[in-house]
Amino acid sequence: MSTDEPKPALDVDALVADLQARAAERSASGAYDAALGVPFETGQSGVQLRPWIGRSTRPVVGPALSFTKRGLMRLQQPVLIDLASQVSSALARQQARLDAESVRRAELEEQVAELTDRVAKLEADRGHTAD
């Protein structure tokens, strides 16, 4: 590349500030309300460990029972966490399949609606021709 070549000047910071101002103006006018109003939904699901279920409220022996239960839970925790994550993954996979089916179904319903419209138009055209 020649060093004599004229270099186009670009003040990136100023440009970004300008873009932000333009975006704010258009957003304020409500131009993007439809696009900005739809939340991204993750459909979270899963199994979680709830350590507080090991707490005993019995009088006198409660603290000792809580201590023992917590100790036992702690010993089993690695296994329980692994099982919980396996169940969560399985649930997530099933949810993904269900979601994919829903998307596919919505697409098919759109196609059906489109085809129904076309059939209706064709029938209407045929009716006009017959007249």
Kindly state the tokens that stand for 15. 């440009």
Q: Which is nearer to another protein, 43 or 59 (CB)?
A: 43
DSSP 41-101: ----------GGGG----TTTHHHHHHHHHHHHHHHHHHHHHHHHHHHHHHHHHHHHHHHH
Write out the residues near another protein by the rule CB under 8 A: 1, 7-10, 12, 15-16, 19-20, 22-24, 26-27, 31-32, 34-36, 38, 40-44, 46, 81, 85, 88-89, 92-93, 95-96, 99-100, 102-103, 106-107
DSSP H/E element including 26: helix 12-28
Shortest reach from residue 112's CB to another protein, in Å: 16
Shortest reach from residue 61's CB to another protein, in Å: 36
Q: Which is nearer to another protein, 75 or 100 (CB)?
A: 100
Q: Which is nearer to another protein, 41 or 131 (CB)?
A: 41
Q: Are 36 and 27 in contact (CB under 8 A)?
A: yes
CA–CA gap between residue 74 and residue 96 (Å, rounded):
32
Shortest reach from residue 122's CB to another protein, in Å: 24
Q: Which is nearer to another protein, 68 or 102 (CB)?
A: 102
